[in-house]
Amino acid sequence: MEPDASQTGPGTGWAPVRWTGHDVRTEVVLLHGHRVSVRVGGTSGPVLLLLHGLLGSGASFGPALDELARTHRVVAPDLLGHGASAKPTGDYSLGSLATLVRDLLVVLGVDSATVVGHSLGGGVAMQLAYQFPTTVDRLVLVGSGGLGRTVSPALRAVALPGAEWVLPAVFNPYAARAAARLLRPLQRLTPPALAQVVAGLATLADAEARAAFVQTARSVIDVRGQRVSATDRLYLAASLPLLLVWGGRDPVIPVAHADALHQLLPGSRLVVFEGAGHFPQVEEPGRFAGVVADFVATTTAPADRAAAWAAALRAGSVPAGQLPLGAADSTTA
């Protein structure tokens, strides 16, 4: 980002994000030596941080991003390994991605935001709320991972041994060009959700993107399904306003995961787009933007999120001296 003399002090080399207009624009931030592409829009209103899913980018929120920028300030980064951001070899776990997002907010001058996470981005959003509770005002989970084992067989296949050697045979520059020629006449007829899938798969023609995809997928998925779950710690978010948005026909992560979480946290809101699949934000962007905007307008972030988080942790834990007989595991016995 270009330094803004009016917002930087002596010796500083960065500038907070400038909310200059409703139109969403793309900025590039150098973070820990890596380029991070981030879409920014809006001039006023609460800040919305939108986190995309596996093989996605900030563009994965489609027209809903532009709609939300009319009444909110929006930040939609391409997570490392995705979109136009750098794709280094390294740690693509949820904890690492959540830390990266926290660092990005600091660089942009954003203290806290309503965090909207889709699919993998939902897992990152929950991890962010767990690691850095003061950064999250509200939580919106959209077809989110991290809430149960079930996930589509296609994603489980990435965890199979040798998948990284099979992918280049299917996804390579030659195949990408051939597919583009074949699909170009059908672009206007392609449903928005399918277009998202096609765009994501097209990125796998790049070797660095393929490697990052495999590393990211394997950090959260094994051959039996999702290997990371937030359900044992969601009680920590009981005081945090929570909205669940799901497609009733989601073939990737079933809506049953949302139903179970809604029952676990009765103060949460659940909105099911009955006719939508895994991308309700692009299948019904106007409705999606309206649901998120209404949620933000009608809820209030906890006054002291750090204190609420700590109180919930203490209430949900048992001091070591009060453990019942046999409760200690073999590592502490």
Torsion of CA 289, 249, 58, 160, to 10 degrees: 160
Torsion of CA 291, 292, 294, 299, to 10 degrees: 130
CA 96 to each of CA 3, 102, 243: distance values in angstroms, whole numbers, following the listed order: 27, 10, 24
CA 82/CA 101 separation, integer angstroms: 13
Region of 146 (left: φ > 0; alpha: ψ -120 to 50; beta: rest) is: left
Cβ–Cβ < 8 Å for 75, 110: yes
CA 95/CA 83 separation, integer angstroms: 20
DSSP letters spanning 108-142: HT---EEEEEETHHHHHHHHHHHH-GGGEEEEEEE
CA 138/CA 114 separation, integer angstroms: 5
Which residues, including other chains, have CB under 8 Å from residue 113's CB and lie 6 or more apart? 46, 47, 48, 49, 75, 105, 135, 136, 137
Tokens matching residue 19: 């909310």
CA 177/CA 205 separation, integer angstroms: 9
Of the candidates 72, 82, 118, 278, the residue annotated as catalytic is 278
Residue 60 designated active-site: no
Region of 150 (left: φ > 0; alpha: ψ -120 to 50; beta: rest) is: beta
CA 109 to each of CA 17, 135, 195, 306, 321: distance values in angstroms, whole numbers, following the listed order: 6, 12, 34, 19, 43
Of the candidates 60, 250, 257, 268, the residue annotated as catalytic is 250
Residue 66 designated active-site: no
Residue 278 designated active-site: yes
Cβ–Cβ < 8 Å for 235, 252: no
Locus of tokens 């897992």: 123
Of the candidates 119, 144, 219, 268, the residue annotated as catalytic is 119
* Catalytic annotation, residues: 119, 250, 278
